Homo-oligomer: A and B are copies of this chain.
Amino acid sequence: MRTSKYLLYTIKEIPNNTHIISHQLMLRSGLIRKLASGLYIWLPNGLRVIKNIKKIIHHEMKKCHAIEMYFPTMQPDILWCQSNRIQEYGKELIKIYDRHNNRFILSPTNEEIMTDFIKKEIKSYKKLPIIIYQIQTKFRDEIRPRSGIMRSREFIMKDAYSFHASKKSLEQTYIKIHKTYKKIFQKMCLKFYSVQADSGVIGGKCSHEFQALSKNGEDKIIISNTSVKKYIYTKQQFNHNAIIKNCIEIGHTFQIGKKYSKIINARIQNIKGKQKFVHLGCYGIGITRLISAIIEQHHDNKGIIWPKHIAPFQVLIIPINFSVCNKIKEISEKLYKQFKQNNIQILLEDRNERIGTKFYDANLIGIPNIIIINNNTIKFHTIEYQTRKKIYNTKIIHINDIIQYIINKYKK
């Protein structure tokens, strides 16, 4: 992609009514724009980040044999009345009345229809265990949307559900998905803790939250020598050597058990031919919120520093005097083409802007690898290379070697 043909809308000033760094940087670096309270437009770079996160999640979920499906967002209220969650969720649950005055909900989670689906399609323990997941836009009527996409009214989630003939099978899959989640968040270079948690309106006895460290997070955890726990002000006693840290909840897993299968009467035949309630596990990742968490952990005073698998582009080429120097232009275009041929996500800074603006934007948007092409070095057939993380640490690399150099970085 070329910046001249791209919607790279950066902002110099800190936008009004933004209080946390991730929100500010998402607006300033042109990832999002506010449409209304809790509702955001995703600009091209923002969407590319979402897609990279989805790719990591798909890859890891498929490795643990999860099967992708897609359930409607708009759901009749009947199953939600049966489970009484239409009451329990209260005003956060968005309701719709159709032209015949039938009530529907916009689903924030899918335990009911998933269990109902399994009830209708699976009759025997032989087809279990099974893990079903989807990535979907979800809705929640937040009482006070805030912190940009951290707490918004429309957001993207990965929700997964596992079904089992026994408690033991549920526990085994739960551990497997727990490991998958760790891999997913590690690949995003997040510092996080998995902590035991309350199951809330989802239900079940065993539950874990994945909490990414961030001083702007709304959750708190207590870290002591012996354990890491969720900090709930009114309930907890703790050792005075423990420290409390703010966190952002990025994932949540639940061993729900038989709560929904009992409500919906979802039974399967067990090995002895008896009808038994199916066991349910439920596993969520807040995809859009993850982006806030990643930026909270990966930025400096100049802008975002994207982890390599999340960045909207892998490499940014900044030519000096692109529009006036033919030699610079020729080399830049040639490299741009070669990177594309090698399937490297490449952004060429070919705008008619001052060089100061180009470097300012480069720091703000945070592409991890930066190649500077200027007259001083090209006469020796070399380019200047720097990472966004260490912008003052410039390497001189031969033009013929730079593609392979980048490819090797992504092999590691």
Give me the interface of A with B, judged by CB distance under 8 Å: 5-7, 9, 33, 35-36, 39-44, 46-47, 50, 65, 67-76, 91, 94-96, 98-99, 106, 113, 117, 120-121, 130, 132, 137, 139, 141, 143, 153-154
Chain B residues near A106 (CB, 8 Å)? 96
Given contacts A9-B121, A67-B44, A117-B41, contact A35 B72 (CB under 8 A): yes
Q: How far is the CA of A121 from the CA of B139 in the complex (A)?
A: 27
Of A68, A76, A143, the most chain B CB neighbours within 10 A belong to: A68
Given contacts A35-B75, A76-B36, A154-B74, contact A69 B96 (CB under 8 A): no
Which of B43, B99, B113, B132 meets A35, CB within 8 Å?
B113
CB of B44 within 8 A of CB of A69, answer yes
Q: How far is the CA of A65 from the CA of B74 in the complex (A)?
A: 33
CB of B43 within 8 A of CB of A69, answer yes
Which of B9, B67, B96, B137 meets A96, CB within 8 Å?
B96
Nearest B residue to A95 by beta-carbon distance?
A: B96
CB of B41 within 8 A of CB of A70, answer yes
Interchain nearest-CB distance for A84 vs B (Å): 20
Chain B residues near A9 (CB, 8 Å)? 121
Given contacts A67-B7, A99-B91, contact A72 B41 (CB under 8 A): yes
Chain B residues near A5 (CB, 8 Å)? 65, 67
Query: With A36-B75, A46-B70 given, can you name 18 additional A-B contacts, CB distance below 8 Å?
Result: A7-B132, A33-B117, A33-B120, A35-B75, A35-B76, A35-B113, A39-B74, A41-B70, A41-B113, A42-B71, A44-B67, A47-B68, A74-B153, A74-B154, A94-B96, A94-B98, A99-B143, A137-B137
